[in-house]
Amino acid sequence: MAHSKPPAGRPLSPHLQIYQLTLTFVMSGFHRVTGTVLYFGIVIPAAWLLAAAAGPDWFEFVNGLLGTIYGRLVLFGYTWALIHHMLGGVRHLIWDTGHGLELVSIEIFARATIIGSVCLTAAVWFAAFTLGGL
């Protein structure tokens, strides 16, 4: 099973690095990467909530950290990962129905996910700067 090792000297079947890098391949990997980023990134909103529960001093402290240029950069990355993973997820939900699996469709989906996530993230941050007068 998983623990058995192939006898020495036997050729292995080709793995990921042998194949040409395609956009859909990268997007598939990126869905996992953004998922992992969000997995650890959820600590940020969790810390914000906990700070709010801890009282005004902690709330101001964490808000201040998130308001710095580094804090904003991290939040910007978090926003993009969130939106990118959401759009990638929509793509997977469409595939689950058995539709959109043609080569033309998956190329269109891949491009639409990138363009969509960049545009939506830009829209969110434009709204943030407009609303916040930052």
Partner 1 sequence: MKLRTPLGRVRGLGAAHEGADVFWAQRLTSIASIPLTFFLVGSCLYLIGADYEAARAYISSIFVAPALMLVIVVFVWHMCIGMEEIIVDYVHSPAVKFASLISNILFSVFLALTCVYAILKLCFGA
CB of 77 to partner 1, least distance (A): 14
Contacting range for partner 1; rule: CB under 8 A; set: 13-21, 87-95, 100-108, 109-117: 87-95
Q: Does 90 bind partner 1 (CB under 8 A)?
A: yes
Q: Please tell me whether residue 122 binds partner 1 under the rule CB under 8 A.
A: no
Distant-in-sequence contacts of 86-90, Cβ < 8 A, 24+ apart: 87/112, 87/113, 87/116, 87/117, 87/120, 88/27, 88/30, 88/31, 88/34, 88/113, 89/31
**Taking the C-alpha atoms of 88, 77, 122 and 27 in order, what is their torsion angle to the nearest 10 degrees?**
-30
Rounded to whole angstroms, the Cα distance separating 11 from 103 reads 31
Residue 96 binds partner 1, judged by CB under 8 A: yes
Examine residue 6 and tell whether it contacts partner 1 (CB under 8 A): no
Tell me which of 8, 93, 103, 104 binds partner 1, using CB under 8 A.
93
Question: Which positions lie near partner 1, rule CB under 8 A?
Answer: 2-3, 32, 35-36, 38-39, 42-43, 45-46, 49-50, 52-53, 55-56, 59-60, 79, 82-83, 86, 89-90, 92-93, 96, 124, 127-128, 131-134
